[in-house]
């Protein structure tokens, strides 16, 4: 059961409501005003729940389901048991399920609007638009702009001149400086955005720090995970494209450009001045060297080390990274070499 101390839930959606949300037709002959009260996995759903099916591996589970309704593709619709399960045909059952889940549940904190704590420290020149929620011990410095509907959690520091777009959700203990952030951002606890990068000149007297005078520019609808670090640029800016998802504990160095619709898994590090194209997927613990160009639609397997430019559409793995097929061949060859031979 979902713990409603943390989440608010709608009491129900009707079949008509669900079909309207998914832009699909109401199944012929079904009770269109039937109330669906929750979402649930196939094997745990009751007659008041909606579930989804997208993997034929679970056909036996679907045959025994007690769900009231099922989101399913046309090619799999014949697998729904001929009982009381209402079959709702959609192109992408998992996406449809996510849409309905998001309609049923919201995080309670995200509902808090129109409040500024007396324990917050807000500069007189800061501009906070209507409908924001500013929690205890938040610090908002001079000339910062917080657009309408934004939530800022406890102990977060917004430095001078930072702009945060509408309906963003900034969790607790976040530090944001030298940055412009688009609307609908979700920045999780402990993230550090806009710190100076790891840049210096090494001469005879040792390292001399380079003043970083760039910023961080983050597009719309970007999620940044807990304890991520995104450094500001040195001369140019560090840029994160719209609709990108960044997992926890990711480091993005100064002057990096990340395209739109990218997915970056935990513990990945991208070194300075590298350019990542659109719709790239980086697995966990990927390391990318500096000053590289990674094309669009590139997939990098977990724990890979990328040391050269990568063409668009490539799938790569290993350290140093190579095409994923070459990496598989290398792995098989190593296994054969390491296998002891009988005399």
Domain count, the chain: 2
Please indicate, yes or no, whether residues 185 and 324 belong to a single structural domain of this protein.
yes
Model pTM greater than 0.75? yes
Q: Given 76, 254, 291, 328, which residue is catalytic?
A: 254
Question: Per the domain annotation, does 273 fall within a domain?
Answer: yes
Question: Per the domain annotation, does 121 fall within a domain?
Answer: no
Supply the CATH number for residue 286's domain: 2.160.10.10
Question: Per the domain annotation, does 123 fall within a domain?
Answer: no
Question: Per the domain annotation, does 298 fall within a domain?
Answer: yes
List, for residues 238-273, the tens digit of each pLDDT value: 999 999 999 999 999 999 999 999 999 999 999 999
Distance of CA 143 to the CA centre of its chain: 29
Two structure tokens written together for 8 = 């608010």
Query: 6 CB contacts (<8 Å, ≥6 apart)?
Result: 107, 108
SS3 74: helix
Please indicate, yes or no, whether residues 181 and 313 belong to a single structural domain of this protein.
yes
Please indicate, yes or no, whether residues 93 and 186 belong to a single structural domain of this protein.
no
Query: 69 CB contacts (<8 Å, ≥6 apart)?
Result: 15, 18, 34, 36, 49, 50, 51, 85, 86, 87, 88
Contact 291, 273 (CB under 8 A): yes
Among 108, 138, 164, where does a domain finish? 108
Domain of 94?
7-108
Closest CA to 123 of 162, 179, 167: 162
Two structure tokens written together for 305 = 């080390």
Among 87, 108, 129, where does a domain finish? 108
Contact 270, 293 (CB under 8 A): no
DSSP character for 98?
Answer: H
Instruction: Judge whether 186 counts as a catalytic residue.
Output: no
- Which band of pLDDT confidence, cut at 50, 70 and 90, is reported for residue 338? confident
Question: Per the domain annotation, does 197 fall within a domain?
Answer: yes
Supply the CATH number for residue 89's domain: 3.40.1390.10
List, for residues 9-40, the tens digit of each pLDDT value: 999 999 999 999 999 999 988 998 999 999 99
């Amino acid at each position: 059961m979902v713990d409603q101390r943390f989440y608010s839930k709608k009491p129900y959606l009707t079949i008509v409501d669900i079909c309207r949300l998914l832009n699909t037709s109401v199944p012929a002959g079904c009770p269109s005003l039937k109330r669906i009260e929750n979402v649930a996995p196939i094997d745990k759903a009751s007659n008041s729940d909606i579930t989804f099916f997208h993997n034929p591996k679970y056909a036996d589970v679907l045959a025994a389901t007690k769900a009231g309704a099922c989101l399913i593709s046309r090619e799999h619709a014949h697998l729904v048991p001929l009982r009381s399960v209402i079959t709702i045909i959609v192109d992408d059952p998992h996406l449809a399920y996510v849409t309905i889940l998001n309609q049923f549940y919201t995080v309670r904190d995200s509902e808090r609007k129109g409040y500024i704590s007396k324990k917050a420290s807000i500069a007189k020149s800061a501009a906070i638009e209507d409908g924001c929620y500013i929690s205890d011990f938040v610090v908002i410095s001079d000339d910062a702009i917080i657009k309408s509907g934004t939530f800022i959690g406890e102990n977060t520091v917004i430095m001078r001149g930072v702009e945060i777009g509408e309906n963003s959700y900034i969790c607790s203990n976040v530090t944001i400086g030298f940055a412009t952030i688009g609307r609908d951002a979700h920045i999780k606890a402990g993230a550090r955005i806009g710190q100076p990068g790891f840049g210096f000149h090494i001469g005879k007297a040792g390292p001399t720090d380079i003043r970083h005078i760039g910023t961080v520019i983050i597009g719309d609808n970007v999620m940044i995970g807990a304890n991520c670090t995104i450094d500001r640029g040195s001369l140019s800016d560090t840029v994160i494209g719209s609709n990108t998802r960044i997992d926890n504990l990711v480091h993005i160095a100064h002057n990096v450009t990340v395209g739109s619709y990218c997915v970056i898994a935990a513990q990945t590090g991208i070194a300075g001045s590298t350019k990542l194209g659109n719709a790239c997927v980086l697995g966990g613990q990927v390391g990318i060297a500096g000053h590289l160009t990674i094309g669009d639609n590139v997939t990098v397997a977990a724990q890979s080390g990328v040391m050269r430019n990568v063409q668009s559409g490539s799938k790569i793995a290993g350290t140093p990274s190579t095409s994923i097929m070459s990496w598989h061949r290398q792995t098989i060859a190593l296994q054969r070499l390491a296998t002891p031979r009988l005399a």
